[in-house]
Chain A
Amino acid sequence: MALLEVTNLDVRFGLRQGEVRALRDVNFTLERGERLGIVGESGAGKSVAAFSLLNLIAKPGFIAGGSISFEGKTLNTMSERGLRKVRGNRISMIFQDPMMTLNPVLSIGQQMIECLKAHRRISSREARAISLDKLRQVQIPSPETRLDQYPHELSGGMRQRVIIAIALLLDPDIIIADEPTTALDVTIQAEIMALLLELCEQHNVGLILITHDLGVVSQVTQRMLVMYAGRVIEQGSTREIINDPQHPYTQGLINALPQMATPGEKLNQIRGTMPSLSNLPSGCAFHPRCNFINRADGKPRPACTEQVPGFVESGNCRVACHMVAEMLEDRRLKEESS
């Protein structure tokens, strides 16, 4: 059995205008020491997925269905008390903006020690020693002085290192990193990512990496999910998806990478913007932006506008698109003729 198993996760937000389904039919598993990437545009539901794993979605959001099972225990029905034992202890999180995640009025040491003390019965001195050790592991210069400093005295990169150290404090099984590098300087980004990867490998920690950056996903993760409008549209082995994306959306994303454009010309893009979750297009949510349209009249196929696509297995991946079979057929014919 997998370490973490998410089945049919359904998250909704009860708004005045009615319920908005922020996530639906999300399924994935994570094995011990495995690294999983979640990619998608802003608003695709990546962060909601991450927060729902620990049942931390802010009101009015709630988990409406499905199950999150961690080591055989169902997290979404667990009591707040039980969840608290998992949070930070077995599954820890790294947030997006290191400037905002550390409490400005508590020293680094206080914030590390309180986390240790919440989960283990240890003395302050021991907790301090462990904190110091973890700060060394994240290669912060002069860790002894850092413990007594406040967040505003550290730079963004150093703060994110501190947060990584806190994430590793209790030797968790899984770290959920919600865009850990987006708020950082580009030069620091690679450094922090390399550090995170190295530490995860060293401690055999599972990593769920949420990011916009396909480059990072391809370097760091073994498997990935591509999300669009609250739904997983393609999932499977990272290498296969990056090298041979099946879903038109994933193809568009990879095509949009600056490296894929011809020099001197405009960058490729996916036309249109992501629909609002409260007003999704019928059928496949991606169909208004999809390039796969009837050549004859330039309209989307009826199947695409009428039916929500189910998953089609393709190699080691699963794709939610009506057109996959046709696309593969097209490609085969092209290859044969050439």
Chain B
Amino acid sequence: MLPLFIRLIRAEMMEVLQSDYVKYARAKGISMRRVYFVHALKNTMLPVITVGGVQIGTMVAYTILTETVFQWPGMGLMFLDAINRADIPLIISYLMIVGVIFVVTNTIVDLIYGLVNPTVKLTGKPA
């Protein structure tokens, strides 16, 4: 997961550093550290957060794979066993739990996104 993020941050950073507001921040005489970490990084984080949310979801789904390959006792392995045994209630409960995890992580990501990006206004908050 890390390489993906590093590459994404790098690509976004390259783009953001070309933008006018970074140039303007430099013209204001702000230290390069602040330009990089406040002006540029904050803008870079927006797409990274979006991708990060999806990645957390996939990470949960891929536990099936890791747990089977390494024979770790866990939910993923249990789910696979349940399929082999046609244990319907267990399959359903697993799917529902994973579904809930997905929904919760995405909600959290959206909330974080609202905090970082001022153009996103969550409902109920006055503009």
Nearest A residue to B117 by beta-carbon distance?
A: A105
B43 at the interface (CB under 8 A from A): yes
Interface centre among A56, A92, A104, A107 (most CB of B within 10 A): A104
Q: How far is the CA of A54 from the CA of B29 in the complex (A)?
A: 10
Q: How far is the CA of A61 from the CA of B101 in the complex (A)?
A: 51
Are A92 and B27 neighbours in the complex by a CB distance under 8 Å?
A: yes
Which of B28, B43, B119 is A152 in contact with, Cβ under 8 Å? B119
Are A84 and B119 neighbours in the complex by a CB distance under 8 Å?
A: no
Are B34 and A85 neighbours in the complex by a CB distance under 8 Å?
A: no
Are B28 and A87 neighbours in the complex by a CB distance under 8 Å?
A: yes
Are B28 and A115 neighbours in the complex by a CB distance under 8 Å?
A: yes
A312 at the interface (CB under 8 A from B): no
A31 at the interface (CB under 8 A from B): no
Are B127 and A153 neighbours in the complex by a CB distance under 8 Å?
A: yes
B48 at the interface (CB under 8 A from A): no
B73 at the interface (CB under 8 A from A): no
Which of A56, A100, A150, A153 is B19 in contact with, Cβ under 8 Å? A100
Nearest A residue to B26 by beta-carbon distance?
A: A56
Are A102 and B29 neighbours in the complex by a CB distance under 8 Å?
A: no
B31 at the interface (CB under 8 A from A): yes
Are B29 and A95 neighbours in the complex by a CB distance under 8 Å?
A: no
Are A118 and B24 neighbours in the complex by a CB distance under 8 Å?
A: no
Q: Which residues from chain A contact B26 at a C-beta distance below 8 Å?
A: 56, 87
Q: Which residues from chain A contact B28 at a C-beta distance below 8 Å?
A: 87-88, 92, 114-115, 118, 166
Distance of A146 from chain B, by nearest CB (Å): 14
Nearest B residue to A152 by beta-carbon distance?
A: B119
Interface centre among B19, B25, B28, B39 (most CB of A within 10 A): B28
Nearest B residue to A170 by beta-carbon distance?
A: B29
Distance of A103 from chain B, by nearest CB (Å): 4
Are A93 and B117 neighbours in the complex by a CB distance under 8 Å?
A: no
Distance of A49 from chain B, by nearest CB (Å): 14
Are A95 and B30 neighbours in the complex by a CB distance under 8 Å?
A: no
A106 at the interface (CB under 8 A from B): yes
Which of B31, B32, B118 is A105 in contact with, Cβ under 8 Å? B118
Q: How far is the CA of A103 from the CA of B119 in the complex (A)?
A: 12
Nearest B residue to A105 by beta-carbon distance?
A: B42
Nearest B residue to A93 by beta-carbon distance?
A: B27
A101 at the interface (CB under 8 A from B): yes
Known A-B contacts A95-B20, A150-B118; A103 and B27 likewise in contact (beta carbons under 8 Å): no
Known A-B contacts A104-B43, A104-B119, A105-B116; A118 and B30 likewise in contact (beta carbons under 8 Å): yes
Are A56 and B21 neighbours in the complex by a CB distance under 8 Å?
A: no
Which of A54, A89, A103 is B39 in contact with, Cβ under 8 Å? A103
Which of B18, B29, B43, B127 is A115 in contact with, Cβ under 8 Å? B29
List 7 additional contacts besides A54-B27, A93-B24; criterion CB under 8 Å. Answer: A56-B27, A88-B27, A92-B27, A101-B21, A104-B118, A115-B29, A118-B28
Using a CB–CB cutoff of 8 Å, the interface residues on chain B facing chain A are: 18-21, 23-32, 34, 38-39, 42-43, 46, 116-119, 127
Using a CB–CB cutoff of 8 Å, the interface residues on chain A facing chain B are: 54, 56, 58, 80, 84-89, 92-93, 95, 97, 100-107, 114-115, 118-119, 150, 152-153, 166
Q: List 25 A-B contacts (CB under 8 A).
A: A56-B23, A56-B26, A56-B27, A80-B32, A86-B29, A87-B28, A88-B28, A92-B28, A95-B24, A95-B27, A100-B19, A102-B21, A103-B21, A103-B25, A103-B42, A104-B118, A104-B119, A106-B38, A106-B42, A114-B28, A114-B38, A115-B28, A118-B30, A118-B31, A166-B28
